[in-house]
Structure formats: structure tokens, C-alpha cells
Amino acid sequence: MINREEAHTILREYLTKPSLQEHCLATALVMEKIAQRIGADLDEYYITGYLHDIDLDIIGDDMNIHAQRGVEILKHYDIPKQILDAILAHNRHKELETKLEKALWIADPVNGLVIASALMRPDKSISSMNLKSLKKKFKSKNFAAGVSRQQIEDCCLLDFTLDEFLQLAMDALAPHEKELGLGVMTSSE
């Protein structure tokens, strides 16, 4: 199997937008934290999260082929089938069966919610955010409306409560917020 460094190189070849690269990193970090909690393989979960959106630049607006194109690209590398299956499942090209598939399904939306919430804060930081403020954003349907609350609530598929899972996502991302373009004070604030 490819290692993390190789995954980083492959992704940057196909996905050039910094915001998308950050989303991939954030997904990888949440996946790694889930793996820690459930006793799964850290590298496998990290790499699945990191590569899941590799085709977003090349598919244009055709979200129907999203993930299928990604898997076509990734087939050429030494990447196990269970990772490719998880990537297919995250855009509903496959039923959710394995823990890895369920983990990617829930890690994908939750990092968007955490990052969007941090961006609303004066210090743009996850570190100063707590579960209560994140839950408020979760319940506010108009906030980051593209983030599926239902999909986040599917954290129950891996036996996480919603509170546990939101906290897990913050814990995963906070130490890396600089790499995610967060925690930067702006002069107007």
C-alpha cells in the first residue's frame, strides 16, 4: 500500500485548489482520529480520507461520476480495494457496509461543519471553540446548509453519540488548524 507521503504527492497532482486540499487533509485527520477510537489501522483510514475527493477538479459539475472517476485514477496505484470501496460508497456508488466506509461517510461532512464554524469566530480558531457552540451551529439549519446533518448523525453507525463525534472532530482538527488555513487573526477583528 502507498504511504502517506505518496498519497500527498498523488493528490497534489490532481487537486490543485488549496481549499479542496485542506478539505482532504481535514477528512484524513478526522478519519485517523476515528481509527484511533475504534482500534482500526491509522494509515488506512488517513489515506482513505485524504484521497476521497481526488477527482473533484476533473469531473467539472458532474457530481454523478464523482468517486467513480477518483477510483479510476487510484486503481493505478498500490491502493487496497477496501479503500477504493469506501471512496465509492461516500458518493453512494456502493452501500455502506464496512467500518471504513461508514467512517468516511461521516468524516466527510463533519469537518466541513467544524471548519465553517471556526471561520465564523473572531480568532478563526477551533481551539477556542467548544462543543456547545459547535452544537448550536449543527442545529442552525441555515448555517453551512450544504453540510448534511443527517449524514453526521450517522455517526451512530459506528456507535458514537453526536456529542462524542462532534468533540472527536474538533479534537482531530484543532492541532492542525494552521495547515487548514485557520487560526489566523485578521486586522479588522
| Residues contributing to the site for Fe ion (CB under 5 A) | 53, 108
Taking the CB of residue 33, how many other CB atoms lie within 10 A of it? 23
Instruction: Tell me whether residue 22 or residue 123 sits nearer to Fe ion (CB atom).
Output: 22
Instruction: Tell me whether residue 93 or residue 131 sits nearer to Fe ion (CB atom).
Output: 93
Measured CA angle at 42 (ends 36, 47), to 5 deg: 135
Instruction: Tell me whether residue 27 or residue 182 sits nearer to Fe ion (CB atom).
Output: 27
Closest approach of Fe ion to the CB of residue 86, in Å: 12
Distance CA 141, CA 99 (A): 28
Closest approach of Fe ion to the CB of residue 116, in Å: 14
Instruction: Specify the 3-state DSSP secondary structure of 19.
Output: helix
Residue type, 93: H
Closest approach of Fe ion to the CB of residue 20, in Å: 8
Distance CA 83, CA 44 (A): 7
